[in-house]
Structure 1
Amino acid sequence: MQIWLLELLKGAGKLFLHPLIYYFVFLAGLLGISRVKRERKNFHVRAKDALYELRQLFPLGLLIGLILSIITVATGLVIPFAAVLLTGVFMLLFSLVSRVRVLSPAYAVGAAFFVLTYVAGKSWDIPLIGTYFESLEDKVYPSVAILLALLMIGEGILISRNGSKGTSPKLAKSKRGQTVGVHEAKRLWMLPVFLLIPGEILEPPFAWWPVFEMGDNLYSLMLVPFGIGFQQQIQGMLPKEAVRRYGGQVLGVGLLVFVIAVAGYWYPIASIAAAAAAIIGREGIALVQRMRDDNRPFYFAKQNHGVMILGIIPGSPAERMELQVGELITKVNGSAVNDEQSLYEALQRNGAHCKLEVLDTNGQIRFVQRALYEGDHHELGILFVQDEKKWDSAAV
């Protein structure tokens, strides 16, 4: 037990020696900075601060990573160190692409699986890391396909639970040249998972422990950071609904891939089919979502009978009044409003108090009111689709 505890501590310590953990922190910070610049360009004010993406990088990912670690260690799922190296290389390469969604495990771990299958059993004279590939047996590694499935399941949960939080409002042009509103979810999570790596340190604690592909039954523990990127632009429906549906589809594909991958221990071709299904399924989800959304009318377009809420500034009176993205403000202080000018004029009639008539996303009318105080952010803190010809700001 002492050896196991020591190895757990050493494995966790190796996480901080992994260069990708610092690279992911850099990427998350870069995402936040680029979002703030775009929001200021569109609305002359940011919706959330530049550190928001960085704060989302760890919390839920650590919890899901702990659960996946328990599964991988308890089942004795052994991953060749060469697969860890290849996955890190592909994550680094894919991160250079402008779309953060290609950091999905389906692409990075899937590509690593196929390269591992190709190089297994071959002699590769690669400086420093060549020995890790020379030790590979000439066979398919089903454990890598199962790890891919588990990471996809974790990805689906992350998207469903966290992806819809803090989606960013932005302005776009419709095919007719009109200014419309859309929402963009662009997020990066880090999922650290303990992996059993072939080595010469630990032995199985119990004779019945199901350690797969071990040979001499010796291995070591390593806490490996997996990056999970997510990107989705939503124009035809509410952001929360669209993102949760997307996450549910990724989770469904992950479960299917897991079932196929498990069969790979008896039928090696099933492991190859699982990795291929992960890549095709993940890309298919993105393609179908984009096609369906393009065929829907813009949800955040200008309305004749009210002003559509495109975004809410955190800490503003609008947030305290519990106004929601997608709701329609039809009256302000008893006056009907249908554009930003009429909304602004109605607010000026009573600078100390604000009463709104709101049509919520379920089509129900509700009334909200609040006193306004000096220093309140941008009067109410509502972001909406602006008329660029009339105003130089889209925040009220």
Structure 2
Amino acid sequence: MTIGLLILSLVAQPVWWFGLIYEWWTADRRIKRERRAFGSAVYSDKFEVRHFVLLSLFWGLVMSVVSFAVGMTVPIGWWVCYSVFALIAIIFGLGSRLPITIFVGTVVLYDWFDKASFSHPVMALLRQLGFSRQPVKIAVLIMLLSAVLFLLSRWLKKTGGRFASPKIFAQKRGKLIAGYPFNELLVVPTLVLIPGDFISAHLAFWPVLSLGGTHVTPLFLPILLGLHLTIFKQNPRMAFKRLAKSFLVLSILVLIGGIVALLSQPAAWIILGLAYVGYIGCLLKTRWHDRRQSFWYSKVDHGVRVLGIKPETPAAKMDIQVGDIITTCNQQPVHSETSFYEALLSDPTYCHLKIQTPEGDLKVTETAIFDGSPHEIGIVMFKD
């Protein structure tokens, strides 16, 4: 019965469902953008939705087991505040941009409201409804923040840049360039403990646990993860892996800071501030490193730039990377999309390419292609 009620509270969680709807909408926009720019979708499946469902539930299970094992307790005021702000951010399309800002901001807002003089009548009313006034140390929320940063790191390492979907931009001089945006979010439902028995006071069947002589209520906290970042001058996969490594280091430092804050309450706010500055610093460092590179995914005159490779096509089996420049196809020089496909038609069942890498190295690759369907080779390039 208890497990069934907890599962019901997970299924009925609005933040998760709104996140799913937003990811479906994000995938639709990406597919339409790819079709406008390249004539067909680079990735026709909604991989954003697949990531959201599978990774949200997987990491939610892992986080819930860990949280329940350590007895992670969060105040009801912050739980409500965080859930509401996360929902609002998703509705207004800001969920992937502000996940850590929402976490830190709601901690500050909760503590300010808890200490404000006008909050006392409100808290008195809430106590009558069964809400506990038992304080929860900010250090506990800092340690939860370290877990959120760890999840963000592992998520980026697994998915960041894995599906390199190009977006066409125009520079000031009119030259076309491509960028690789990452715009995904996750809602990780994590089981936490809330001091008090406010739910069971009105719903007698709701589970209440006893922890150290204190009544606590298990509830799912919808932890919001997300990132909105466009890479212009690097291999997207490598850029997001470096960012993931930075977040991993930051999560370890924040965890150490949370342990220190348990021992010294005045240090908690300094550590929380430094954690947020560190998060912003990781993002700025990634942007700065990207901007200072000399390479661009730009249109070239001496060949055709590879902007993407469609999965399960002949190109996916060839030694081709995003950013490569195809100089010849079937022994014929190419300089545009049209000349590339004309060269393919010279031998409609075979493709032999000479390629120049972004580093200036030369390589040769070849494969059989679909008979009579050269346009299905799977190489995405600038349209003429």
Q: Give TM class, smaller chain.
A: 0.7 to 0.9
Q: Sort the Cα spacing of 1:217 and 1:24 in 2 relative to 1 into closer, same or farther, 3 A.
A: same
Shift of 1:190: 2.4
Q: Sort the Cα spacing of 1:314 and 1:277 in 2 relative to 1 into closer, same or farther, 3 A.
A: same
Shift of 1:340: 2.4
Q: What amino acid is the match of 2:79? A: V
Quick one: which of 263, 266, 273 aligns to 1:266? 263
Q: What amino acid is the match of 1:12? A: I
Match of 1:117 in 2: 111
Measured against aligned partners, the alpha-carbon deviations of 1:160-181 in whole angstroms (never above 9, x if no partner) come to 1112221320111123220111
Shift of 1:159: 0.8
Superposition map of 1:1-396 within 5 A: 6-49=1-44, 51-96=46-91, 98-104=93-99, 106-120=100-114, 122-123=119-120, 125=122, 135-137=132-134, 140-200=137-197, 201-204=208-211, 216-321=213-318, 323-359=320-356, 363=361, 365-374=363-372, 378-386=375-383, 391=384
Stretches of structure 2 lacking an aligned partner (at least 5 in a row)? 198-207
With the length of structure 1 as denominator, give the TM-score of the two structures: 0.84
Cα distance between partner residues in 2 of 1:340 and 1:373? 19
Q: What amino acid is the match of 1:236? A: K
Shift of 1:151: 0.9
Measured against aligned partners, the alpha-carbon deviations of 1:281-307 in whole angstroms (never above 9, x if no partner) come to 222222332233233334312345432
Stretches of structure 1 lacking an aligned partner (at least 5 in a row)? 1-5, 205-213, 392-396
Q: What amino acid is the match of 1:202? A: L
**Which structure 1 residue ranges, 4+ long, deviate > 6 Å from structure 2?**
126-134
Q: What amino acid is the match of 2:54? A: P
Q: What amino acid is the match of 1:116? A: Y
Cα distance between partner residues in 1 of 2:95 and 2:364? 39
Measured against aligned partners, the alpha-carbon deviations of 1:328-372 in whole angstroms (never above 9, x if no partner) come to 323211223233233122112122222223345674623221132
Measured against aligned partners, the alpha-carbon deviations of 1:88-113 in whole angstroms (never above 9, x if no partner) come to 12212333555543242x21221121
Q: Sort the Cα spacing of 1:296 and 1:128 in 2 relative to 1 into closer, same or farther, 3 A.
A: farther
Shift of 1:132: 7.9
Q: What amino acid is the match of 2:25? A: L
Secondary structure class of the residue paired with 1:125: helix
Q: What amino acid is the match of 1:70? A: V
Cα distance between partner residues in 2 of 1:365 and 1:243? 26
Cα distance between partner residues in 2 of 1:12 and 1:86? 22
Shift of 1:242: 0.9
Shift of 1:73: 1.7
Cα distance between partner residues in 2 of 1:323 and 1:61? 32
Q: What amino acid is the match of 2:162? A: K
- Kept in 2, the 8 Å contact 1:171–1:180? The answer is yes
Shift of 1:74: 1.7
Secondary structure class of the residue paired with 2:33: helix
Shift of 1:24: 0.6
Secondary structure class of the residue paired with 2:323: coil
Match of 1:207 in 2: none
Q: What amino acid is the match of 1:157? A: R
Cα distance between partner residues in 2 of 1:36 and 1:61? 22
- The range that moved more, 79-88 or 60-69, is 60-69
Q: Sort the Cα spacing of 1:364 and 1:84 in 2 relative to 1 into closer, same or farther, 3 A.
A: farther
Cα distance between partner residues in 2 of 1:9 and 1:226? 21
Shift of 1:85: 0.9
Match of 1:211 in 2: none
